[in-house]
């Protein structure tokens, strides 16, 4: 029983200590990234604004957020530097999503051509719409 309290304290302090060390390492990486900003870097601010660095000094950076629109930000407000690989991945996922939407539209058209019921403008819904509505969660006033 005498060893229980010290063991509990050690068991609680070790994860706290390791968490603080990890947080310090992450903060050091962010500070290093902010210190290495250079003109031409594409960045994202902590508020989610995308821009390109057009001028940088010790404490602030000027970001071009649109053609001929330049805003001044503190270096500490830069969350990440966007590289071209991330932009290419985003474009690929956007292309894939648009292809999926066109496939869904084609399936809906083929269903309508194959005799599926459609909205006749008088409030009648298709069979697929009523099936989806039955699967939807219900809210109650309990």
Contacts of 80 (CB under 8 A, 6+ apart): 33, 43, 44
Q: What is the pLDDT of residues 57-97, one digit of tens each?
A: 989 999 999 999 999 999 999 999 998 655 555 555 555 55
Q: Which two structure tokens, joined as six digits, stand for 34?
A: 């902010």
Q: What is the pLDDT of residue 48?
A: 94
**31-63-48 Cα angle (round to 5):** 70
Mean pLDDT by 10 residues, the chain (142 residues): 84 88 93 91 94 93 94 94 65 57 55 49 52 61 62
């Amino acid at each position: 029983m005498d060893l229980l309290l010290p063991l509990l304290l050690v068991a609680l302090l070790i994860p706290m200590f390791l968490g603080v060390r990890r947080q310090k390492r992450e903060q050091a990486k962010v500070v290093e990234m902010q210190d290495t900003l250079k003109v031409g870097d594409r960045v994202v601010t902590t508020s989610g604004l995308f821009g390109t660095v057009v001028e940088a000094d010790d404490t602030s950076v000027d970001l071009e957020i649109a053609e001929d629109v330049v805003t001044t930000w503190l270096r500490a407000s830069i969350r990440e530097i966007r590289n071209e690989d991330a932009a290419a991945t985003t474009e690929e996922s956007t292309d894939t999503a648009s292809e999926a939407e066109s496939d869904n539209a084609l399936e809906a058209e083929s269903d309508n051509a194959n005799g599926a019921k459609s909205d006749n403008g008088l409030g009648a819904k298709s069979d697929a719409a009523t099936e989806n509505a039955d699967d939807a969660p219900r809210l109650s006033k309990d």
